[in-house]
Amino acid sequence: MDIKKFKLSRRHALKTAGMGFVTGIAGTTGCSSTPELSSGPQPINGILPWSNWSGNQVSYPAERARPRNLEGLVKLLKETNGKIRAVGAGHSFSGLVPTNETLLSMARFRGISNINTETKEVTAGAGTRLAALGDELWENDLGMINMPDINTQALAGAIATSTHGTGQKFGSLSKYVTGLTLVTASGEVMKCSATENKDVFDAARCNIGSLGIITDITMQMRDSYYLKERSEMLPIDEAFEKMEKLRLEKRHFEAYGLPHANHMLLIEFDEVTKEESDAMQGQAASGDAYQTFRTLADVIDTLPFLRGAVMSIAPRTVGVEERYGPWNKIFGNVRDMRFNEMEYTVPAEDGLACFREVLNTIKEKDIDIIFPIEYRYVAEDDIWLSQFYKRAGASISVHNFHDKPYLPYFAEMEAIFDRYQGRPHWGKVHNKTEAEFAALYPQWEAFKELRQRLDPERRFINEHLENFFPAIS
Amino acid sequence: MRHKIILAALLSFASLSSWAIDPFTVELYQTSCNICHGAGVGDAPKSFEPDAWAERLEKGKDVLLANAIGGFKGMPPLGMCSDCTQEDLVDLIDYMTVSKAQ
């Protein structure tokens, strides 16, 4: 979710609307005092808490390990026998990371280690952040085939959860993995690809951290390129009519549906030449989208009956915006607004119907939410636990501010996604059970058997994963 | 004499601190902190501008550390460095709150 795509800082449209109401209600939000000390988790008995980005997952790892190299990692796995969970950027909203035993950082496994200039395959360390990978690729005249709009994730974390961007022709990042190195619970180092340990390769490209520790990943890249981004707010019926055309004709596109509003933001992307990009490159939107949306949320909290008016009037003032630049700069955006998120992928052909039902349900049930709903397409793949396994998908994401209640809203949405055989994003909030996963993923049992073979002592299973991979009695 | 010793100690410390920045701290900074503190996104105090940090430092480094651990305003818990240790966070605060060593 990239809220800056609403270009609020440039237009100040929603902010103006929100601040007008704030003025009217005499300081109910604008004059609130700011606390001077964090209200977040603090050390207990000298143990540093771990928390994810949004703050909805917290644990107190007794040990923190950061091996310097492959030998150090193998030694750690061979000489210890407790549970281990690897952490990347902490951008998952589900309980994938929390552990009270050993938290493993792969921060010493960063950067590109090999570029095959003939095939354009690039090998990078597991802990490499996507933004840094993008910069390094750009310096080498290379580009990722596609990319999410958040680029702060660690590469191994993104792969472990089939993290994705948008575009019917483009798969998740996992789809472009051509090889990886996995260290198993016993310290065995396994090279995996389509021709070597293929079953592990098919499972490990979306492994939810449950098979072992990935140390490096080789991905198919391409020549560098430039992008043009065009965003436009349209009346909702017109937007729905246009979306199928955009899906087919544009390089990629995404939509943001505004709750309780009759408008939708459509964002389309096309490749352009360097010359066109250089000529058109302008200032990227930046700044106060967070404060703007917080203001709106606070206003609506105070005067909830104004929600419909605010959400209907404000979008009308947002016009067409265009942005040009290198691929890695257009994809990546600064994330200065924290939220919690649920995302489900439904079959691509059902995407628009599901999206419409989500927006209608929010209105009909008067759900107290202003956060836009994100809609994207992703191509199918053959990765066992990928949301896109043998099924092209439409991914629909719902959010709320990190400090606002989100579970009741997400539960309403999850019921809709279930009716469309939705598969949840592994790194986002969901309430799926093992039985439900078994029904959603044809290779579920194969994955479980492989997992048990690679990790018989269950060292990579935490409380969250225990729900899906219970001990075999 | 005593003052001279203290002054010499302070100078050597200042010199050491500019010489002894752990490259890994710089890498952590680039990976996790620079994205907001480099440009002052969301009113984050800008790195290497001591004036921007002065008021905060007056409250004590333990308060800065507590805020980095638990998150504060727009800053997430652990300040975007989900795999940092407490020692890393202390090093990062020390690195960001002073002028950049030349």
Residue A40 lies in a domain: no
* Gap between the Cα atoms of A204 and A324, Å rounded: 36
Q: Does residue A383 share a domain with residue A259?
A: yes
Same structural domain, A268 and A370: yes
Q: How far apart are CA A184 and CA A77, in angstroms?
A: 8
- Domain assignment present for residue A417? The answer is yes
Using CB atoms, pick whichever of A38, A52, A89 lies closest to residue B70.
A38
Assign A425 a pLDDT band (cuts: 50, 70, 90): very high
Q: Which two tokens stand for residue A457?
A: 């002592």
CATH number at residue A126: 3.30.465.10
Considering CB atoms only, which of A55, A127, A336 is closest to B71?
Answer: A55
- Residue A461 belongs to a domain: no
Total structural domains within chain A: 3
* A380, A397, A424 - which closes a domain: A424
As given in the structure block, the two tokens for residue B73 are 């305003």
Within a domain: A93? yes
Give the end of a domain, one of A38, A70, A105.
Answer: A105
Nearest CA to CA, how far is B57 from chain A (Å)? Answer: 12
Stretch A131-136: mean pLDDT: 96
Task: Tell me, yes or no, whether A240 and A385 share the same domain.
Answer: yes
Positive/negative CA dihedral, A299, A305, A306, A312: positive
**Any domain includes A458:** no
Query: Residue A374: which of A341, A344, A351, A397 has the closest Cα?
Result: A397
Q: What is the mean pLDDT of residues A50-60?
A: 97
| Average pLDDT over every residue of B88-95 | 96
Residue A381 has pLDDT above 90, yes or no: yes
Question: Which of A39, A66, A90 is closest, CB to CB, to B82?
Answer: A90
Using an 8 Å Cβ cutoff, are B35 and A334 in contact?
Answer: yes
The domain in which residue A73 lies consists of: 50-105
CA distance A324 to chain B (A): 21
- Å between B12 CA and nearest CA of chain A: 31
Q: What is the pTM of this model?
A: 0.89
- In this complex, which of A54, A105, A286 lies closest to B83 when CB atoms are compared? A105
Query: What tens digit of pLDDT does each residue of A62-109 get?
Result: 999 999 999 999 999 999 999 999 999 999 999 999 999 999 999 999
* Interface check B77 vs A, CB under 8 A: yes
Same domain, A84 and A187: no
Residues A177 and A276 in one domain: no
A71 and A124 together in one domain = no
pLDDT at A317 over 70: no
Chain B residues whose beta carbon lies within 8 Å of the beta carbon of residue A97: 82
CA atoms within 13 A on the CB side of A422: 27
Q: How far is B13 from chain A (nearest CA, A)?
A: 28
CB contact under 8 A, A37 and B74: no
* Shared-domain flag, residues A351 and A213: no
Judge whether A353 and A375 are in contact, CB under 8 Å. Answer: no
CB A40 to CB B69 under 8 A?
yes
What is the Cα–Cα distance from A5 to A256, expressed in whole angstroms? 9
Same domain, yes or no: A320 and A349:
yes
In a domain, A203, yes or no: yes
Same domain, A231 and A241: yes
Residue-level pLDDT at A315: 72
pLDDT winner (highest mean) among A23-37, A327-341, A415-429, B61-75: A415-429
Average pLDDT over residues A32-53: 85
Q: Please check whether residues A140 and A250 belong to one and the same domain.
A: no
Last residue of a domain, one of A203, A223, A243: A223
Chain B hits for A105, Cβ within 8 Å:
83
A239 lies in the same domain as A212: no
User: Across the interface, do B73 and A290 touch by the CB < 8 Å criterion?
Assistant: no
Q: Which CATH number fits domain B22-96: 1.10.760.10, 3.30.70.20, 1.10.10.10, 3.90.1640.30?
A: 1.10.760.10
Both tokens of residue A319? 């016009």
Average pLDDT over residues A28-34: 36
Residues A300 and A339 in one domain: yes
Alpha helices in A323-459 (DSSP H): 327-331, 351-364, 407-419, 434-440, 444-454
